[in-house]
Amino acid sequence: MATTDEIRADLADIVNEVAGIPADDVQMDKSFTDDLDVDSLSMVEVVVAAEEKFDVKIPDDEVKNLKTVGDAVAYIERAQNG
């Protein structure tokens, strides 16, 4: 099972690929919209790529609750363990 930091690092690569944000900036306390400039459409792309990468389902209704990188990492960990 991947560690929390491995999930964050993989997610950072996805955010980098979709939105061109340096992967090092994608830290747990960062807000996708306010700090990283990931808008709602890019967020959809990030979510779809994360679903494939981590083999989880992230429904549209959940996406709005994933405000920070930490929220997304925690959701992915729960979904993988659930």
- CB nearer to another protein: pick between 4 and 40: 40
Instruction: Kindly list the residues in this chain that would bind another protein in the complex (CB under 8 A).
Output: 39-41, 44-45, 47-48, 60, 63
Write down the least CB distance from residue 5 to another protein, Å: 27
Separation between Cα atoms, residue 40 and residue 32, nearest integer Å: 9
Write down the least CB distance from residue 48 to another protein, Å: 5
- CB nearer to another protein: pick between 2 and 48: 48
- CB nearer to another protein: pick between 6 and 17: 17
Separation between Cα atoms, residue 38 and residue 31, nearest integer Å: 9
For every residue of 14-46, DSSP letters joined together read HHHHHH---GGG--TT-BTTTTT---HHHHHHH
